[in-house]
C-alpha cells in the first residue's frame, strides 16, 4: 500500500507574523520556515504504518517554491521514502492544492492519503475534504486514532459530542488532529540518508492542472491591539462597566 502525505512549507510557529507595510500580505523575507505542524503528525502516522507493515511506501508531496525542497528533505529524514515537489512561485489556493494532489494520487496509484487537518498560515481546513471529493474517496477527518485492518481504515475522530469511530474502505483520505501522535525528531544518520533519497520536481503544467487563483486579496492588516484592563473597586462598579461600557448586560 502506498501512502501519500502532503507537507506544506509555512512560517515557523515560533515566529511572530508581521504584515507588510503596503498591506499586500505577511512579511516572508528573512523569516524562518518549517513544516506545518499538522503535516508532521500526518507524516509520523504514515511512517508508523509503514513500520508496522501496513504500508510499503510513503510519498511526501509539497507544493511551493524551490525552497520547499528543504521541507521535503525534512520529510525524507523523518522516514518518507521519496518526495515530489510541484514547483510554483504563485500563491496556491486550497482547491488548486487539492487538484494537484489528486493528480499525483492518481499518477502514483496511492491507496491512502494522510493530510494535516489544516495549515497554520491560513487555517482554511479545506484541502483534505476537497481532495476526498475530487478522488471520490471516503474520508475520516480530525483523526485522533488510526489503524488499517483487512483493507479498511478504522478511524477514531473527534466530534462535538465526543469521539466517533468509523470504518472506511480503502482507498481513503485521513486528516490528522493533534492527539493522533507525537512526531519524531530526525536523527543525524537519517538526515544524511535523506540527501540521497529521490526527490522529483514537477510543474502544474505537467500534471495538467490550472492553478489560477479564484480569489483576490484586497488588504491584509493586523488585528487591533487589545486595550489594557482596569481594576474595579467592587462588584457594583464591575456591573456598571459591563452594562454601560461593554454593553453585555
Domain presence at residue 160: yes
| 197-205 average pLDDT score | 94
14-26 confidence digits (pLDDT tens): 888 888 888 878 8
- Using a pLDDT cut of 70, give the percent of the chain over it: 100
Q: What is the pTM of this model?
A: 0.86
The region of weakest confidence among 116-120, 192-196, 200-204, 222-226 is 222-226
Residue with cell 499586500: 24
Cβ atoms of 62 and 34 closer than 8 Å: no
Domain presence at residue 128: yes
pLDDT surpasses 80 at 249: no
Which of 35, 42, 48, 38 has the alpha carbon at shortest distance from 74? Answer: 35
Burial class (CB in 10 A: 0-12, 13-18, 19+), 113: buried
Domain presence at residue 204: yes
Question: Which residue range(s) make up the domain with 212?
Answer: 2-244
pLDDT surpasses 90 at 200: yes
Domain presence at residue 249: no
DSSP symbol at 89? S
161-170 confidence digits (pLDDT tens): 889 999 999 9
Q: Per the structure block, which three cell numbers stand in for 170?
A: 480503502
90-145 confidence digits (pLDDT tens): 889 999 999 999 999 999 999 999 999 999 988 899 999 999 999 999 999 999 99
pLDDT surpasses 80 at 154: yes
pLDDT value of position 134: 97
Q: Structurally, how many domains does the chain consist of?
A: 1
222-248 confidence digits (pLDDT tens): 888 888 888 889 999 998 888 888 777
Mean per-residue pLDDT over the chain, rounded: 92
Domain presence at residue 175: yes
Give the pLDDT band (50/70/90) at residue 202.
very high
- Rounded to whole angstroms, the Cα distance separating 198 from 188 reads 18
pLDDT value of position 226: 82
- Rounded to whole angstroms, the Cα distance separating 190 from 194 reads 6
Domain presence at residue 79: yes
Domain presence at residue 70: yes
CATH number at residue 207: 3.40.50.620
Domain presence at residue 219: yes
46-99 confidence digits (pLDDT tens): 999 999 999 999 999 999 999 999 999 999 999 999 999 999 988 899 999 999
Amino acid at each position: 500500500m502506498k501512502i501519500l502525505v502532503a507537507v506544506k512549507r509555512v512560517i515557523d510557529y515560533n515566529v511572530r507574523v508581521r504584515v507588510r507595510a503596503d498591506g499586500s500580505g505577511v512579511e516572508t523575507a528573512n523569516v524562518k520556515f518549517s513544516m506545518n505542524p499538522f503535516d508532521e503528525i500526518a507524516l509520523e502516522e504514515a511512517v508508523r504504518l509503514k513500520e508496522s507493515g501496513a504500508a510499503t511506501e510513503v510519498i511526501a508531496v509539497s507544493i511551493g517554491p524551490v525552497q520547499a525542497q528543504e521541507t521535503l528533505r525534512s520529510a525524507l529524514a523523518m522516514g518518507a521514502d521519496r518526495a515530489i515537489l510541484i514547483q510554483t512561485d504563485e500563491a496556491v489556493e486550497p482547491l488548486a492544492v487539492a487538484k494537484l494532489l489528486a493528480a499525483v494520487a492518481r499518477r502514483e496509484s496511492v491507496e491512502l492519503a494522510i493530510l494535516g487537518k489544516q495549515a497554520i498560515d491560513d487555517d482554511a481546513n479545506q484541502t483534505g475534504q476537497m481532495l476526498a471529493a475530487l478522488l471520490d474517496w471516503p474520508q475520516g477527518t480530525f483523526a485522533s486514532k488510526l489503524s488499517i485492518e483487512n483493507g479498511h481504515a478504522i478511524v477514531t475522530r473527534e466530534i462535538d459530542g465526543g469521539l466517533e469511530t468509523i470504518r472506511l474502505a480503502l482507498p481513503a483520505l485521513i486528516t490528522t488532529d493533534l492527539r493522533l501522535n507525537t512526531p519524531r525528531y530526525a536523527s543525524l544518520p537519517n538526515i544524511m540518508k535523506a540527501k540521497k533519497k529521490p526527490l522529483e520536481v514537477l510543474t502544474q503544467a505537467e500534471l495538467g492542472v490550472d492553478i489560477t487563483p479564484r480569489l483576490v486579496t484586497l488588504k491584509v492588516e493586523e488585528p487591533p491591539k487589545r486595550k489594557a484592563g482596569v481594576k474595579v473597586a467592587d462588584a457594583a462598579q464591575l456591573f456598571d462597566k459591563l452594562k454601560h461600557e461593554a454593553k453585555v448586560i
